[in-house]
Amino acid sequence: MQDNQYDLRPIYICGSTATGKTGLSIALAHHIDGEIINADAYQVYRGLDTITAAPSTAELAQAPHHLFGILDPSEDFDAQRYLELATPVIKDIQSRGKVPIIVGGSGMYLKFLTHGPSPLPAGDDTLRAYLDTLTEDQLITKLLELDPVGAAQTNLKNRRYVTRALEISILSERPMSELKTDWEKSNTETEKHLRGILLDWGREELRNRIKVRTQMMIDTGAIQEVATQLGADKGLSKTCEKAIGVRDIQSHLMGEITQERCQELIFFATCQYAKRQRTWFNKENWITKIPMNKNLSPKAILDEYLAELLAS
């Protein structure tokens, strides 16, 4: 194990696509002797580097990178499997005296890694079938009996919410409200030990950056890249098919839309996704928000925010 003057707790670099996470992560890795771990749901796949805006070969060579391009596009992937892959990588990096730098914009993947999976039980088909036979009044009565506090916090006019609250209380054998309260307390304690930054661009500036990124993807072979994967023997997994641009490019390849329309759809979908990412990360109070502008280079960010980040 090598000596490192820095705290070895992971540092999280968060933000939507086209915010500059890759450049900053490499600069930070050089500065604190860190290693970079992917936290993007689609950059784990091989052969989709362009459409997923994965780091280039040149960028990957500038610092140690982990969990990029490790899966075949035919494989499904989810947050639980990501947690299982990322956890030992983090421990290995720390065992060598290095700082793990977690980079990505997939909120659920990051949530699993920072806070762990939710303690709320998954759905049960048999129980759900039974609850579906009850009237709305019967569901509400049962919820009031099992969890009056949770009932007061639930929109009782929404049958789906009432059913889920009942399902949680029955399966866990504890009121849903108690589970949520314990989870929130646990999260508060967990977040005291987390440190991360959010690269926060203004709405119009980010739209312009996404527009440039989308054009670059099309110009550098995104269409051919997707065509190659669609033509592979195993095809694309359901996870991969959800990657922004894949279905639009498929429509273009089938002659249903023009390349120009395909590019427009990718741009609009990316902007919508960026908005959802921003909403997600704004709820994570432990993340330090960095107001971005075009003059703020990775070096400038480190000069201004590094001490604050490392002290958190």
pLDDT tens-place string over residues 241-295: 999 999 999 999 999 999 999 999 999 999 999 999 999 999 999 999 999 998 8
Position 294 scores a pLDDT of 84
Distance CA 154, CA 131 (A): 17
pLDDT per position as a tens digit, 80-110: 999 999 999 999 999 999 999 999 999 999 9
Distance CA 70, CA 54 (A): 12
**Local structure of 105: helix, strand or coil:** coil
Letter string b/e over residues 221-236, b meaning 16 or more CB atoms within 10 A of that residue's CB = ebbebbeebbeeeeeb
Distance CA 10, CA 13 (A): 10
How many C-beta neighbours within 10 Å does residue 251 have? 15
Quick one: how far is CA 300 from the chain centroid? 26
Position 235 scores a pLDDT of 85
Position 86 scores a pLDDT of 98
Collect contacts of 58-65 with beta carbons under 8 A, ≥24 apart.
Answer: 59/22, 59/26, 62/26, 62/29, 62/30, 63/25, 63/26, 63/29, 63/30, 63/34, 63/35, 63/36, 64/29, 64/35, 64/36, 64/98, 65/35, 65/36, 65/37, 65/38
Position 122 scores a pLDDT of 85
The dihedral built from the CA positions of residue 234, 240, 241 and 243, taken in this order, carries a sign that is negative
Position 3 scores a pLDDT of 62
Domains located in the chain, CATH noted: 11-117+190-311 (3.40.50.300), 125-183 (1.10.20)
* Residue positions counted in the chain: 312
What is the pLDDT tens value at each position of the chain, 312 positions in all? 456 677 999 999 999 989 999 999 999 999 999 999 999 999 999 999 999 999 999 999 999 999 999 999 999 999 999 999 999 999 999 999 999 999 999 999 999 999 999 888 888 899 999 999 999 999 999 999 999 999 999 999 999 999 999 999 999 999 999 998 998 898 999 999 999 999 999 999 999 999 999 999 999 999 999 999 998 888 899 999 999 999 999 999 999 999 999 999 999 999 999 999 999 999 999 999 999 998 889 999 998 888 877 876
Taking alpha carbons only, the member of 183, 223, 302, 244 closest to residue 52 is 244
Position 2 scores a pLDDT of 53
